Copies of this chain bind each other. A is one copy, B any other.
Amino acid sequence: MTDPFKDQVLARFMAQRGLKSTRQRGLIIDAFLQTPGHLSVEDLWAKVRALDPKVSVATVYRTMKLLLDCGLAHARNFGDGQTRYEAAVGKHHHDHLICTSCGSILEFENDRIEALQDAVASRHGFRVTSHKMELYGLCRSCQGQLESSAEEER
């Protein structure tokens, strides 16, 4: 693993629970942490199999659950049938703009929104541990392609 902080998070988590560090876990976790973006288990499995064709999907699923539990990964659901995973540490929290036409995903972060979220939550007595926010719409280029209908500039 390249990042000493993640390394430590993981090491402590595993030590606390008596988990063992295996070759497969190493492969999967490295591949996951080194890949930016939103990976499905299928994606990740493909990457890992390139390094070791014997690793089974089950192990990938099990390892992702591990990363989820220790907070190094977040799960996302963008509406196609698959759960996608994203590295969670070493990167600011961010949310997503998703183009419903071409499927492209743009990330953004906005502290003011986060602050308002916390405010809303505490108003309801909640202690927020995580959140997700997705904005769906048309990206710039897809808007251009659908230009046939009249529209105003801003």
- Write the residues of chain A forming the contact surface with B, with a CB cutoff of 8 angstroms: 16, 75, 77, 79, 97, 99-100, 106, 108, 110, 112-113, 116-117, 120-122, 124-140, 143, 152, 154
A140 touches B126 (CB 8 A): yes
Contacts of A127 in B (CB 8 A): 137-138, 143
Contacts of A108 in B (CB 8 A): 120, 124
B130 touches A136 (CB 8 A): yes
B120 touches A128 (CB 8 A): no
Contacts of A137 in B (CB 8 A): 121, 126-130
Sample 21 A-B pairs with CB under 8 A, ordered by A number. Answer: A75-B79, A97-B126, A100-B129, A113-B113, A113-B116, A113-B117, A113-B120, A121-B137, A122-B154, A124-B140, A126-B139, A127-B138, A127-B143, A128-B136, A128-B137, A130-B135, A130-B137, A131-B135, A132-B133, A132-B134, A132-B136
